[in-house]
Amino acid sequence: MTAFSRRVADLTGVPEDRLGRLAGGDLSQVLLVVRDDGRESVAKGGPAVATEAAMLRALAAAGLPTPAVEAEHGGVLLIERIVHDGLFSARSWADIGAGLKRLHSSLADQFGWPVDYALGTVQLDNRRSADWPAFWGEQRLAATAALLDRPLRDRVAGLVRRLRDLLPDRPPASLLHGDLWSGNILVAGGRLAALIDPACYHGDAEVDLAMLTLFDSPPDTFWSAYGALEPGWRERRPVYQLFPALVHLRLFGAGYAPMVDRLLDAVGV
Domain boundary assignment for the chain: 3-80, 90-266
Tell me, yes or no, if the two domains 3-80 and 90-266 fold the same way: no
- What is the rounded CA–CA span in Å between residue 168 and residue 183? 29
Residues ≥6 apart with Cβ < 8 Å to 225: 93, 94, 95, 96, 97, 98, 101
Quote the Cα angle for 107-113-114, to 5°: 120
Residues ≥6 apart with Cβ < 8 Å to 253: none
Superfamily of domain 3-80 in the CATH hierarchy: Phosphorylase Kinase; domain 1 (3.30.200.20)
Model pLDDT, residue 91: 97
Beta strand pairing call for 201-203 and 191-195: unpaired
Write down the pTM of the prediction.
0.93
Residues ≥6 apart with Cβ < 8 Å to 19: 1, 5, 8, 9, 31, 32, 33, 43
Name residue 152's amino acid.
Answer: L
Model pLDDT, residue 26: 52
pLDDT in tens, 47-94: 899 999 999 999 999 999 999 999 988 889 999 999 999 999 999 999
Following DSSP, what letter does each residue of 13-35 receive, concatenated?
A: ---GGGPEE-S--SSS-EEEEE-
Model pLDDT, residue 53: 96
pLDDT in tens, 116-146: 999 999 999 999 999 999 999 999 999 999 9
The mean-pLDDT minimum among 71-75, 98-102, 200-204, 221-225 falls in 71-75
Catalytic residues: 179
Pick the CATH number of 90-266 from 3.40.50.300, 3.30.70.330, 1.10.357.10, 3.90.1200.10: 3.90.1200.10
Asked if 145 and 135 count as a contact pair (C-beta separation under 8 A), the reply is: no
Residues ≥6 apart with Cβ < 8 Å to 153: 145, 146
Model pLDDT, residue 1: 63
SS3 at position 89: coil
